[in-house]
Structures are given as C-alpha cells and as structure tokens.
Chain A
Amino acid sequence: MEKFQPFSGLVAPMDRANVDTDAIIPKQFLKSIKRSGFGQNLFDEWRYLDHGEPGMDAAQRQPNPEFVLNKLRYQGAQILLARANFGCGSSREHAPWSLQDYGFRVIIAPSFADIFFNNCFKIGILPIILSAEILDQLFEQVNAAEGYALTIDLQAQTVSTSNGDVFAFEVDSFRKHCLVNGLDEIGLTLEKAEKIKQFEQQRREQQPWLFT
C-alpha cells in the first residue's frame, strides 16, 4: 500500500444521505474477478443516462449532464464530501475500489456504514468523520467556489480550508499507523503467527468440535 502523505485536493460534493453501495457500484460490475477498472462505473446509474453493463466502452456512453461528478468543475476531484451513513448496504469492497479507481483518496462525511468504513482503510482511502455542522459549511463552500480544495494531513489529523479554517478529526491510532507508513496488515498479523498458533491449540483442546 502507498504511504498516505499530506496533500491538497479538489473537492466534489455528494449531497445525499444514505448513499448505498449498490449506488456506488451497481451489482452487474461485481462480476469482475479483478480489483481494478471499477472507476468508470462509479455511481453508474446516476452518472449515465444509458444502462451500463460490464465491458461497455465508457466513451460511447451517454453521461447524465445533471449528475454532479459530470460537471466540468469537479473533474479531477480527490476528496468527496458526503452525508450521513455513506456506504451503507453490502460488504462489497468494490465500492471503495471504484471510488479509489476514479481518483478519490478521501471521503468526508458525518457518519459511515461500518463495513464500508473498514474497507476504505484496508485499501488506502481515508474516511474522515466531521460533524454535520462542519459538513454543512463545507458543502456551502464547495458549491460557492469553483476549484474549491481542501488540505488533508493524516499525521496531524486535520482538514484545512484555504481561508485558514482547520478542522481536527479522530482516527484510530493503529489504522493511522498503517496508512501513514503504507503497511501491509497481513504481514503485520503474521508477525504474531506464534501467538495465533498457541491460541488455536488452546481452543482445539477446549472446543475440539470446532476443529473437525
């Protein structure tokens, strides 16, 4: 995983609560056995006027001009502002994969669904929780100013605006450590292989029926 370093990025707004993973990446695209290439179908049903199926050439599709991410001013956005309970629904990691493949590195919302929130960290997207009031402000600002950008500093745990507002956010120290240093969690866990084996052995003795 890449190290998560401080950066400034263009912001796009997704002004809708309860955005579910079926909306983020519709199921017909889950048939892929790969991890990449989902970005062109991010928000597919909202983003295009025609119905999307795997293998279609995105250049031949009809974009929905009304959809927010299709607006010229948000092209190249790396930070997504969202509303409450973002990412609810299925456990599909294809949802964060598609956001990442599209170019998003950070999602800011007042709350996230648990599994989605977890999945983001695993692949190097940073989900940030800020209060609904702060998000109201940020939505207002991004709507008002073209080219609106935010600076994200994970080490310092801050989101900064260009006019000097700095918002602090919470993040679990272990997750932060993994992201900042680009660590492979499986590798880290395997360093404890002996401990896992001991635990397993003990369990095998106490509850042998689990091991048949």
Chain B
Amino acid sequence: MQNLYDKLWNQHVVHTESDEPGSMALLYIDRHLVHEVTSPQAFESLKLAGRKPWRLSSILAVADHNVPTTDRSQGINDPISRLQVDTLDKNCDELGITEFKMHDLRQGIVHVIGPEQGATLPGMTVVCGDSHTSTHGAFGCLAFGIGTSEVEHVLATQCLLMKKAKAMQIIVDGELSPGITAKDIALAIIGEIGTAGGTGYAIEFTGSAIRALSMEGRMTLCNMAIEAGARAGMVAVDDTTIEYIKGRPFAPQGELWDRAVTYWRTLQSDSCADFDQTITLNAAQIKPQVTWGTSPEMVTTIDGKVPDPAEIADEVKRHDMQQALKYMGLHANTPIRDIAIDKVFIGSCTNSRIEDLRAAAQVIDGKHIAATVKLALVVPGSGLVKKQAEAEGLDKIFQAAGFEWREPGCSMCLAMNDDRLASGERCASTSNRNFEGRQGPGGRTHLVSPATAAAAAVAGHFVDVSEI
C-alpha cells in the first residue's frame, strides 16, 4: 500500500546510498523552473566548473520578482534589479534555455505560468529555487523549493540528493460555507498545526472539500504548504486535474495524451495507505481567516479578536506574541473588524489567478474603495491572466472601484520592485507571508483571501464579505 508521496518518490529514485530507510537518495528531476533571483550564482558556478545543463528541455525560465508592474516600455529603472533580470536573459540566451522575457505575453509569476502552460504535469518532480514551488503539487506531482547550490546541482546533473520526508495527510471533509476559499482553508490549517507543524513532512491534502476545489484553489492550498513548514504539498489526480491540463501548450497531445492520462489516473494514495500523521478538519467550520501577527500561524477569524499575550503560559510564545503585536501596532483584544487598513494588495503566486480576480471583482462590482484606503493594487499572476481578465471586463470593474490595474509579477508580495508599503502602513494582502518587513520595511501585512481583501478595500477595515 503506497501513499501518493511514496509513489512519486519511488518513481524518481535513481540511486540510494544504502538500503536503510532515511538514507540519501538521488532523485531525478523532470521540470526545472528558474527565476532571476536564485539562479545567477548557480549559472556562474556551473560555468566556472566548465559544466553545461544536463537537459535543456527540462528548464523553463522567467523573470518575476524584479519586474515593474507599471509601464514597462522604459525597461527597469533600478539598475541592480535590471542587472539581475539582464543576467537571467543572458544566461538563457547563451545556453539556449526557454525563457519568457519581460515583454512576452506569457511572462508572469513562475508558479502561475508553469501550470498555465502545462509545463507542470502530474507525476513529475518539479523544482525551482523558490520555496513556493510547493504550489505545483496541486497536480499530483512532487514539487518543492531548493536553494541556489541545488539549482546548480539540478542544472549539472538533472538530479538532487535528498532524504525522503515523512508523509502527512490532511483531510478536509464537508462543504465550505459560501465565500470561503482555499486561502481560508490554508490559513486555518496553519493556525491549527503551526508554521513548523509540517516540518519534515510532505503533505497530501484530501477529503471531499479538497476534491471539490478547482485546480486554482488546490494551487493556493499547496502554495501555502510551505508556510506550514512542509516542503511539499500535493493533491491526487482526478478529472478536475486532467480537464485543467487538456490543451495547454506544453501538455501532451493525441496518442501521447491518452497514454499520459492512463498513467496520471494512478497518482492517488492507495486506499488504506499509511501516513505518519493524519489531521482532520471540518470544512463547514472554516470561517474567513485574517492574520494579526508576523507569522502565518498568527491567525484568527474575521469575527475574532487580537489575542492577549497575558493569557499565554509559554514564555517564548508570549514574548513572540508581544513582539508581533508591537510590530503590528495592535493591542490585545481588539476586534479584527476594528482594524483599519491603508493599502490592499491582490496578487502573488497564492492568489493572482483568474478565479482570484473574479472573486475579488465580484465583491467590489459597483462599489468604491474607502476614502481612507491610500492604494489598492491588482497584480495579475501572468500576462495571460491579465488578458483573460480584461476580456471579461474585470479590469474595468477594478478601476471603477478605485483599484490600480497592473502588469504581472511578484510585486508587493515581497516588494523587490517599486511596489511596497511605507513604514507603519497596514495592508490587507492576498500573499502568503506576513513576516516583518516583507512588504516593505516597517510595513504591516494581514494575510487574507481575495474576497476578504476586496471587502476590506470597500469598508476601509476588515469585514465579513457577506456584509458588503
């Protein structure tokens, strides 16, 4: 009896150091996604060592972190950002690597474009020098983030040295209430198990509520697996998976398609497969989530309150909480809905796909952002998402409501380009990390779903979507 993770793992082992469980294995990598921030040093070392990429067709590159989201006709202003993007372009051109350049309609956040292109397929091992590579696990593949030395290792050998993780199963059964999204499920799970709860595990998400999610929802969920400490998150293949992939540019066609689908359908945990840990959540009980602190586990529900450190017995935890509240400029016991916001960010590899934009647009349609909201941004995940949204008229809805409609990229998720919070500013953000300084030095981030972010934009403070 094998679980999904066992199957994916076993399919890719080229060699093991010894037969003992937990020994290092050499794992074959099918898809290597590359972006500009974590690759330059790897390409440089590769060159210095006189080595060449093992299999060019496995690599797909794109610049996403540093690209401007405003007018791109002038290129990138910041010379250091520009050099990083130019370096990626140069490396890809020299080596013959497929890259979607900044002016390509297909450019976007690496974790959005992989699936969008069909470059992420079930049964693959997918790696990228980026922790949110876990996103791709939504397709029943083994996908995880790696460091720059490992990027070089994969370039040079098409393999990685790894130890098998333990397997965790998170079952979410039941039906979600209206307006509750994959983002709320993800934050509720992290609230439950903590940001280190998944450390050392690969997580498989299952249960009727997961089966009912669209591929985009599954991607949002797997994207956040890393915030629970797990390197990989995954969802078994079903009709939803196969329907999504069909007809995408990098997906197989014709006879190969049929063969692939037959294989893909086996990518599920056997019934009665063992897991090292199982956690169960009731979907019906999940409410809209809002983080109040500087770690994704510092989360509560929209009708909740900022917790009181005085009630925490553990000294280290209490201290962390006090520090977080100080940084966030919040007081214990403040109702979440009394927290006023300055900015709104809808975007990032967690929530910048078409369904995310539709969900936000639906909330703000015919309304306007509050006068106290200084800036509300929508940053589509890719050029194709943007185009689709425009075809549906979503850009008009956002702009009429006072949102800015931008070019695709990581943007204010990590503020490496010009989009950022000023010190002390508070943001309702659909991204995945609320660490200190993440969206700009001194900036205060509250993680929420696109619908909750849109509702906050209209109200000027957090509010249940159903009340907008």
Nearest CB on A from B405, distance (A):
24
Do residues A207 and B260 form an inter-chain contact, with CB atoms below 8 A? yes
**CB of A23 closer than 8 Å to a CB of B:** yes
Do residues B130 and A91 form an inter-chain contact, with CB atoms below 8 A? yes
Do residues A91 and B145 form an inter-chain contact, with CB atoms below 8 A? yes
Nearest CB on A from B406, distance (A):
19
**CB of B84 closer than 8 Å to a CB of A:** yes
Do residues A192 and B121 form an inter-chain contact, with CB atoms below 8 A? no
**CB of B14 closer than 8 Å to a CB of A:** yes
Interface size on B, residues (CB 8 A): 78
Question: Which residues of B396-429 have CB atoms within 8 Å of chain A's CB atoms?
Answer: 414-416
* Contacts A31-B84, A195-B14 known; 14 new A-B pairs at CB < 8 A: A17-B317, A18-B196, A23-B437, A30-B65, A91-B38, A91-B131, A93-B129, A114-B165, A114-B231, A186-B152, A189-B156, A192-B14, A203-B28, A210-B121
Do residues B131 and A190 form an inter-chain contact, with CB atoms below 8 A? no
Do residues A186 and B147 form an inter-chain contact, with CB atoms below 8 A? no
Nearest CB on A from B445, distance (A):
11
Residues of A within 8 A of B15 (CB): 192, 195
Do residues B433 and A89 form an inter-chain contact, with CB atoms below 8 A? yes
Residues of B within 8 A of A51 (CB): 441
**CB of B370 closer than 8 Å to a CB of A:** no
Among A57-65, A116-124, A149-157, which stretch is in contact with chain B? A116-124
**CB of B274 closer than 8 Å to a CB of A:** no
**CB of A73 closer than 8 Å to a CB of B:** no
Taken together as a complex, chains A and B put the C-alpha atoms of A23 and B123 apart, in Å, by 35
Residues of B within 8 A of A89 (CB): 131, 433, 435
Do residues A209 and B161 form an inter-chain contact, with CB atoms below 8 A? no
Residues of B within 8 A of A175 (CB): 24
The closest CB in chain A to the CB of B91 belongs to A33
**CB of B295 closer than 8 Å to a CB of A:** yes
Taken together as a complex, chains A and B put the C-alpha atoms of A27 and B84 apart, in Å, by 13
Q: Which of B28, B149, B263 contacts A123 (CB 8 A)?
A: B149
Q: A22-B435, A31-B81, A192-B15 are in contact. Are A199 and B28 (CB under 8 A)?
A: yes
**CB of B10 closer than 8 Å to a CB of A:** no
Q: A23-B436, A118-B147, A189-B159 are in contact. Are A33 and B28 (CB under 8 A)?
A: no
**CB of A41 closer than 8 Å to a CB of B:** no
**CB of B199 closer than 8 Å to a CB of A:** yes
Taken together as a complex, chains A and B put the C-alpha atoms of A123 and B151 apart, in Å, by 13
Residues of B within 8 A of A30 (CB): 37, 65, 416
Do residues A209 and B156 form an inter-chain contact, with CB atoms below 8 A? no
Q: What are 22 A-B pairs with beta-carbon distances under 8 A? A: A16-B323, A22-B436, A23-B436, A26-B437, A27-B416, A27-B438, A30-B65, A33-B41, A35-B45, A90-B130, A92-B147, A93-B41, A114-B199, A114-B230, A175-B24, A190-B156, A192-B14, A192-B26, A196-B26, A209-B251, A209-B256, A212-B252
Residues of B within 8 A of A18 (CB): 195-196, 295, 320
Nearest CB on B from A180, distance (A):
15
Do residues B436 and A31 form an inter-chain contact, with CB atoms below 8 A? no
Taken together as a complex, chains A and B put the C-alpha atoms of A22 and B66 apart, in Å, by 16
**Mask of B2-28 contacts with A, CB within 8 angstroms, 1/0:** 000000000000110100000110101
Q: Give the residue among B133, B231, B251 with the most A Cβ atoms within 10 A.
A: B231
- Seen from chain A, the residues whose Cβ lies within 8 Å of a Cβ on chain B are 16-18, 20, 22-23, 26-28, 30-35, 45, 51, 54-55, 83-85, 88-94, 96, 111, 113-115, 118-119, 122-123, 172-175, 185-186, 189-190, 192-193, 195-196, 199-200, 203, 207-212
The closest CB in chain A to the CB of B123 belongs to A207
Do residues A91 and B433 form an inter-chain contact, with CB atoms below 8 A? no
Q: A45-B441, A115-B147, A207-B123 are in contact. Are A174 and B23 (CB under 8 A)?
A: yes
The closest CB in chain A to the CB of B51 belongs to A186
Q: Which of A26, A173, A200 contacts B158 (CB 8 A)?
A: A200
Taken together as a complex, chains A and B put the C-alpha atoms of A28 and B416 apart, in Å, by 6
**CB of B337 closer than 8 Å to a CB of A:** no
Question: Which residues of B96-112 have CB atoms within 8 Å of chain A's CB atoms?
Answer: none
Do residues B147 and A172 form an inter-chain contact, with CB atoms below 8 A? no
The closest CB in chain B to the CB of A190 belongs to B157
Q: Which of A119, A196, A207 contacts B149 (CB 8 A)?
A: A119
**CB of B191 closer than 8 Å to a CB of A:** no
The closest CB in chain A to the CB of B22 belongs to A172
Closest 8 CB pairs of A and B: A209-B252, A122-B149, A119-B147, A33-B40, A93-B147, A91-B145, A93-B148, A85-B196
Residues of B within 8 A of A17 (CB): 316-317, 320
**CB of B153 closer than 8 Å to a CB of A:** yes
Do residues B229 and A174 form an inter-chain contact, with CB atoms below 8 A? no
Do residues A31 and B66 form an inter-chain contact, with CB atoms below 8 A? yes
Taken together as a complex, chains A and B put the C-alpha atoms of A119 and B147 apart, in Å, by 6
Taken together as a complex, chains A and B put the C-alpha atoms of A12 and B149 apart, in Å, by 27
Q: Give the residue among B40, B131, B200 with the most A Cβ atoms within 10 A.
A: B131
Q: A22-B433, A174-B23, A210-B30 are in contact. Are A186 and B130 (CB under 8 A)?
A: no
Q: Which of B37, B157, B195, B200 contacts A196 (CB 8 A)?
A: B157
Do residues B159 and A196 form an inter-chain contact, with CB atoms below 8 A? yes
Do residues B84 and A45 form an inter-chain contact, with CB atoms below 8 A? no
The closest CB in chain A to the CB of B324 belongs to A18
Q: Which of A34, A122, A189, A212 contacts B57 (CB 8 A)?
A: A212
